[in-house]
Amino acid sequence: RKEVEQDPGPFNVPEGATVAFNCTYSNSASQSFFWYRQDCRKEPKLLMSVYSSGNEDGRFTAQLNRASQYISLLIRDSKLSDSATYLCVGGNDYKLSFGAGTTVTVRA
């Protein structure tokens, strides 16, 4: 079983819509979580860390549910430039486990 699992999507949403998706993790010892963004045929880039109490960064909100072992990402007021694959990442010590990604396509 993969340590981090994501719905691959794609999530196709109109501009201005809200889109949300989750990822689940199997290692209850995982301490830290992150969302990375990867554009087509480009390198991943850190989008935001995920804190236990939940956190926002502009139009992006991340939540962590340790009891059910999932994290979520919500994007409000979607822009065309939000079209990308979002990678869920969790881990501890020096080991980060990357999910395979959820693809979001925002259409005009």
Q: Note the residues at the interface with another protein (CB under 8 A).
A: 2, 4, 8, 32, 34, 42-46, 49, 87, 89, 91, 94-101
Residue 13: CB minimum distance to another protein, A: 22
Does residue 93 come out as left (phi exceeding 0), alpha (psi in the -120 to 50 range) or beta? left
Residue 21: CB minimum distance to another protein, A: 15
Cα Rg of the chain (Å, integer)? 13
Residue 39: CB minimum distance to another protein, A: 11
Residue closer to another protein, measured from CB, 53 or 108: 53
Residue closer to another protein, measured from CB, 95 or 107: 95
- At residue 81, the 3 state secondary structure works out as helix
Report CA torsion sign: 24, 22, 91, 29.
negative
Q: Letter for the amino acid at 82?
A: D
